[in-house]
Amino acid sequence: MIDSNLVIFDSAIDPEGSSLQNTTKSSIGSIARSLVADDHIWAEFLKLQISEHTKRTYASALNDFFVQMTGAKVNPHQIREFLNLPSAQAIAVVLSYRSRLLALNLSPNTINTRLAAIKSLVNHARKLSQCGFSLEDVASLKVEVYRDTSGVAPDVYRMMIEAIDRETIGGKRDYAIMRLLWDNALRRSEVTTLNIEDFQSDRLWIIRKGKIQKQAVDLAVKTRSALTQWLSVRGGEPSQPLFMALDNRAYGKRLSGRSLGYLVERLAKGADVEKRMSPHRVRHSSITAYLDLSDGNVRDARLLSGHAKLETLVIYDDRRKNVQGQVSSKLADLV
């Protein structure tokens, strides 16, 4: 989460106080100068990020970088000073930051995300000729992808959703969410960013990971029914969140990714599921279940999961069939 005191500067106002969009009062020169001013480099950089999640992640990561290295939160002066460093010094600072993250025993994914935020800011500044160095020599950490893609069996997941009281408002919401997570193998963000207008009869319009435009996914009868029942009690305008918080503190606000995670954990605990569950674990479970059902049809599984690379589904299938274990057994039989 971004620190509540972290300032994200408004790039819509030029140094003279007039709107950048007001072309009758601003020359192209003043607009160009404002975009490379100390505050605007930061603000415009964040605006370039595709999703709100990426904006928050990068803002938080860059704030952590400056706090760790200087003791002060990110601000225009700190950014300008960093971007003006000689190449050797800049690389040394970032490498030192990476060493600190390693000492904190953070996961490779977390470290790589924070490094990616810094690299992205530097690349943006370089394009504007506001930075004279590159961080290409700062290597990311190697990450083992999908260490456990097994998830849980369909009968276990069935126990989780059958425990939901679908006569209550909260139960109708939770059941619709859990059906989407399983039936369409949606990612956490693909669920939480949905609006009411995105549900249209027999399909749902979602924003896939790394994409800008929405794309349609077809819905099973059970999924459509669950969503229809939820909307019958949810109400609201088309532009409002499809899934909202129901607790007193945040009632009516968009359901957060964290709350979605708590929901899955709570239902798993209630069903005595030993494996730690999360929305992504449900996704793993759904994909693996389909591969079992289709005897390893990775091409169809890709249409379900929305993975960019077919190789990712091959990893799922290999893990599902325990290919490595079978290979080791055959080798063992030779000696």
Point out the catalytic residue in the list 25, 47, 211, 222: 211
Point out the catalytic residue in the list 283, 284, 290, 319: 283
Point out the catalytic residue in the list 119, 266, 280, 320: 280
Q: How many residues does the chain have?
A: 335
Those residues with Cβ within 8 angstroms of residue 50's Cβ, 6 or more apart along the chain or in another chain = 210, 211, 212
Angle at which helix 108-127 crosses helix 52-70, to 10 degrees, equals: 90
Angle at Cα 213 formed by Cα 208 and Cα 214, nearest 5°?
A: 60
Nearest to 67 by CA among 119, 115, 6: 6
Sheet of 215-218: strands edge to edge? 199-200, 203-206, 215-218
- The string of DSSP codes covering 63-118 is HHHHHHHHSS---HHHHHHHHTS-HHHHHHHHHHHHHHHHHTT--HHHHHHHHHHH
3-state DSSP assignment of residue 31: helix
CA 119 to chain centre: 19
* Contact (CB, 8 A) for 153 and 100: no
CB atoms within 10 A of CB 64: 19
Identity at 125, one-letter amino acid code: A
Point out the catalytic residue in the list 98, 173, 188, 307: 307
> Rg of the Cα trace of the chain?
24
Instruction: Please say if 280 is a catalytic residue.
Output: yes
Angle at which helix 52-70 crosses helix 87-103, to 10 degrees, equals: 100
Q: Check residue 207 and give left, alpha or beta (phi > 0: left; psi -120 to 50: alpha).
A: beta
CA 186 to chain centre: 12
Instruction: Please say if 211 is a catalytic residue.
Output: yes
Point out the catalytic residue in the list 98, 114, 172, 187: 187
Instruction: Please say if 283 is a catalytic residue.
Output: yes
Point out the catalytic residue in the list 58, 175, 290, 316: 316
Q: Check residue 151 and give left, alpha or beta (phi > 0: left; psi -120 to 50: alpha).
A: left
Residue showing tokens 């030029």: 14
Tokens standing for residue 33: 């100068």
The residues annotated with a catalytic role in the active site are 187, 211, 280, 283, 307, 316
